[in-house]
Amino acid sequence: MAAKSFNPFQFIREVRQETAKVSWPSRNETIITTVMVMIMVALTAIYFFFVDAILHWGVNLLIYGK
């Protein structure tokens, strides 16, 4: 089987054609999604903080009896 020759100019043209087909989000959609991600990250951090604190308390209770 013969190797196909690579043409960088054709590759760039094809990339531009495919990029034109992409449905890009609007500025408003991007802002809303970013805020939602930040809120979820904050809630997850708070959740794991409390889970860690409870586990820390439980381990200290088991080991030191305090």
2-61 pLDDT, tens digit per residue, is 567 888 999 999 999 999 999 989 999 999 999 999 999 999 999 999 999 999 999 999
Residue 51 CA to residue 66 CA, distance in Å, equals 19
Q: Are 26 and 33 in contact (CB under 8 A)?
A: no
The model's pTM is: 0.64
What pLDDT is stored for residue 1 in this prediction?
A: 58
- Phi, psi torsion values for 60, nearest 5 degrees: -60, -40
